[in-house]
Chains A and B, each alone.
Chain A
Amino acid sequence: MSFFDRKPVLTDDADFVVVGTGAGGATAARVLSESGFSVVMLEEGAYLKPEDRPRELVDAMAVAVRGMATLATDSLVPMPLLQGSCVGGSTAINSGIIWRMPEDVREVWAREWGLSGLTDHKLDSAFDYIEDALAVGPTDVAIAGGNNELMQRAAEKLGLPGKVIARNAKGCEGNQRCLQGCPIGARQSMEISYVPAAMANGARLHTRCRANKVRFEGARAVGVTGTLRDENERELGTFEIRARRGVIVAASVFGTPLLLNRSGVRHPLLGERFQAHPGAAFVGAFDEPVHMGFGASQGYEIPMRDRGFKMEALALPPDMLAARLPGAGKAWQERVSKLGHYAQWGCLARMEAKGRVRAGLFDGVSVRYEPTESDLAIVREALLLVGKLMFAAGAHEVYPGIASVPEIVKTEEDLVRLMPEKLKRADVHLVASHLFGTACASSDPKRGVVDEHLEVHGRPGLFVMDASIFPTNLGVNPQHSIMGVTHIAATALAERSAARQVA
């Protein structure tokens, strides 16, 4: 049998095929399966049981983080882009932070993008439902840990509007292993919550399946084809899943536009309007023990949305924390021996920059994205405030990690004096973890790839339900907004499909 004659080793069919099991895909699968439709979920990565998630970072990242967190923008000053690559998507590696979509964003989406159906009162009901389903609540002080407690004290000292982070964690023991994967399944990420719920409703999950193309009959989407792979990306065969009612693409801001493009969907905005919340962080050395190894990975934040940023406590695994400490050799080893005396707090900026995503030679994807001068000014302001917080909390040394500032700063006055008036892109190590756009939604077919029902304009039966459809970034953590918007769109889709069935 020749390459071109080979038959798929996996075939299946269902009312709906969902590509991707992150916040969007898992929500769509759960809602549709609860409405009585048969659903097949396809996931490129593996399913990781909580007890199988390694504590050691290199092993944990190998199975759960795309490209070991080395996927980066195409630039002389590349910016790493963080994404999950297992069942649960990025919800399987995030800190479970839950924020409702801010009112100002909802207004803009409704007014400028014609998306009032996704942002009206139904969104509040969806948030209520999701918060109950994910046991959302404030971080308990008992498991807050020193990194969060110190930031709270600093915020109170400086009179900043800090708040305890609301998270989707149930029975969190403060293992500080959100990034590696919660070993007790406390964080209600999608592989713990929504994916099993969908499977309990009869949905089927196929893992290590990379979708290559959406199949069409005429303009209508009728299925998905792709390849089965082993853990080392070796191809094992092909699959073909037939969809009787629709295909839902939720393959992330990178995977979604590339899959649509490979499938022949053409739109000038496909892959465009890529947006993010890039961030940077300071490490502070304290006389008091902080013991970052215990506590919620992220339990305290200071939102400053009117200034375009938010600050967060962000505990690091020991490997990353040690790598972040300045120096090499004896001085560095002395610092590492006191690894329990450091705190790390960072900032995320709601940047105005817009980039684009294309198929690329390296790693299959090429991302162009450059922060503007105004974005960097926001980062500068935020980092300066992070430094002030650290000194207010009693840090005796702060390690800014900014090229034009000394590696070790000992006073707030020095920090203010040494911080450049204008931050250059190459001065600061930015990482982006909240990613948006690339298949944005609008009721106007000229302004959006998908419509207000999240159906691709001119392609009946093909839907996009992930952060790709966001016409703007949010300024807050996106998981809840992705789930809320998907909940509404999937519920409406189920109602329309049920009505058609009756008719």
Chain B
Amino acid sequence: MSIKPNSQPTFQPGKRVRIFLGEAHTWQGKPLHQAILERAWRQGIAGATVLRGIEGFGPGHHLSTERLPEIAENLPVVIEIVEQAEQVERFLPLLDEMVAQGMITVSDVRIVRKGDA
């Protein structure tokens, strides 16, 4: 396979936000992870990905695992958002309000974009 590049990549500083939640957490009657996705979209966040964990524990130190149906009702959920710093800044206050239990981390990343030809 031969691919002919039309442009050189450029790099843009960005942030990766990870939000660690429990699957059973809700916000205004909806699953919290779904509510966060909707708000992120409304605020113009370019994209978000939800991963479902199979085992873990969090701030409450309560274990959940898919191995035992008895404690599988609140499996970990991780939402990843990668955006430019300003967009993330703008979204954080709302995010803070929505996440009553959980963890939010932010790391620096470089977003790779297509440069001019």
Check if A and B associate. Answer: no
